[in-house]
A and B are shown apart, each in its own frame.
Chain A
Amino acid sequence: MKEMTAKQVAEFVIEKKDLFILDVRNESDYRDWKIEGEKVESVNIPYFDLIDGVGPALEKLPKDKQILVVCAKEGSSKFVAESLEEAGVANISYLQGGMKSWSEYLYKAEVYRDENVKVYQFIRVGKGCLSYMVVSENEALIVDPSRFTGIYEEEAAKDGVKITHIVDSHLHADHISGGKELSERTGGKYYLMRSEGATFDFNALEEHDEIVFEEVKLQVLAVKTPGHTPGSVSFFVNDKLLFSGDTIFVGGLGRPDLGGKVAEWAQDLFNTVYEKVASIADDVIVLPGHYADLDDEMNEEGFIGDLLGNIRSRNELMQNKNKEEFVDMVVANANTETPPNFEEIVAINRGVIKAEAEKQQELEIGPNRCALHHTH
């Protein structure tokens, strides 16, 4: 029985190759979150309906496509795939490690290179989260690291550089940050906004307008409104690259409802867009913290990002709105769907509670709802 790794599945999705998925998880898990892609077709038949025979699945499977059986962890998909192979189905495999490994896989893409810096994007395809490595001379800076810190260490080692700076653009609600752990493992300085309420030692971004190392000058674009929590900080590198965190996405603006203070957040977002970002040139590359739809938001070069000018021209909200209009539109577009387990994830990222790896894995399983509904 052949197995397919999450990496191979990601290649099918990104390269837009035909894949037919038989997802054998229960219906509610399937409805909540599944593997998607332009050329990915899927059907859901729970494994417990296939224990006495795979007949119900046979009639739904195409003859001419690669078929992948998927379940939560692996066991059931292997069982079903083997039964289907015995029943004569060709081109069939199961997903190694199930949706758990799909949730965790990071796809690396090079997004930028000049004489001073090289930037890699790490796409967490199963969740829609993005993190970055900015390499210059002998050092690297990591933006919004996932909890799979080993990957950044490996990639830094490949480039022969040392991770010296780690930044989080905001306190994440959809995934557990690897920032603190990566800082402990590498000795790199970890920066976060103090106003986000973390309880461990870190470097407060409030005290750093810039982070400078090797040939990199990173400007911290924060709307420092005293007294309340900002939504997200952006990082502007060498006047060429804008790491926009949770504020600007390829497909729209961030969703301001997670803190339950929609209007306040919307005003910060307005200030970010109209005061901080308005003066930034059209040919700057925007590299966001999330995406909602890979096929829509991945560009021809194979990464998630676009020129600021293109994003501005597509988004009415970024064009000559006054504060009141802007806030009204953002509030009207806010939605109440939250990422799974976001309260616990926020508490972990603040250092208020601790969780073992298995618990972290469980909390993160499921869809990313931070960028699900962009505000247009």
Chain B
Amino acid sequence: MNVTKVLDAKGLACPMPIVKTKKAIGEIESGQVLEIHTTDKGAVKDLAAWTESTGHELLKHEDDNGVLKFWVKKG
């Protein structure tokens, strides 16, 4: 996958992972991909709901030894 930007939000509690994701997505172009790393388990549902409500696309997510990784394509 062609990732334009990687956001490290590890160790941050809700709402910061989404606050930072919003800011980071503002810095890339439509169609580009943002990769997000977080350790906040609430992010799984929240990022899915957020991308849906904002028109971005959550391409996939995975759990890499406790680090949750998300790939979001800007809408």
Q: Which residues of A does B touch, CB under 8 Å?
A: 26-29, 46-49, 51-52, 71-73, 75-76, 79, 362
Binds A, one of B3-11, B28-36, B46-54: B46-54
- Bound: A28/B42 CA distance, A: 12
- Bound: A362/B41 CA distance, A: 10
Query: Is the pair A75, B19 in contact by a Cβ cutoff of 8 Å?
Result: no
Query: Is the pair A79, B45 in contact by a Cβ cutoff of 8 Å?
Result: no
In the complex, chain A residues whose CB is within 8 Å of the CB of B18: 47-48, 51
In the complex, chain A residues whose CB is within 8 Å of the CB of B14: 47, 71-73, 75-76
Q: What's the nearest-Cβ distance from chain A to residue B63, in Å? A: 14
Question: Chain B interface residue count: which class?
Answer: 10 to 19
Does B75 count as interface, using CB distance less than 8 angstroms? no
Query: Is the pair A48, B53 in contact by a Cβ cutoff of 8 Å?
Result: yes
Q: What's the nearest-Cβ distance from chain B to residue A22, in Å? A: 14
In the complex, chain B residues whose CB is within 8 Å of the CB of A47: 14-15, 18
- Select one of A27, A51, A52 contacting B49, CB under 8 A: A27
Q: Which residues of B does A touch, CB under 8 Å?
A: 13-16, 18-19, 22, 41-42, 45-46, 48-50, 53
Query: Is the pair B42, A72 in contact by a Cβ cutoff of 8 Å?
Result: yes
Query: Is the pair A46, B13 in contact by a Cβ cutoff of 8 Å?
Result: no
**A to B CB contacts below 8 Å, 6 in the list:** A26-B46, A46-B49, A51-B18, A51-B19, A71-B14, A76-B14
Query: Is the pair B49, A26 in contact by a Cβ cutoff of 8 Å?
Result: yes
- Select one of B15, B42, B48 contacting A79, CB under 8 A: B15
- Bound: A58/B58 CA distance, A: 30
Given A75-B13, A79-B15, is A48 in contact with B22 using a C-beta cutoff of 8 Å? yes
In the complex, chain B residues whose CB is within 8 Å of the CB of A52: 22
In the complex, chain A residues whose CB is within 8 Å of the CB of B16: 75
- Bound: A52/B16 CA distance, A: 13
In the complex, chain B residues whose CB is within 8 Å of the CB of A28: 45, 49
In the complex, chain A residues whose CB is within 8 Å of the CB of B19: 51
- Select one of A29, A51, A362 contacting B15, CB under 8 A: A51
In the complex, chain B residues whose CB is within 8 Å of the CB of A51: 15, 18-19, 22
* B51 and chain A: residue at smallest CB distance: A48
Q: What's the nearest-Cβ distance from chain A to residue B16, in Å? A: 8
Q: What's the nearest-Cβ distance from chain A to residue B24, in Å? A: 13
In the complex, chain B residues whose CB is within 8 Å of the CB of A76: 14-15
In the complex, chain B residues whose CB is within 8 Å of the CB of A73: 13-14, 42
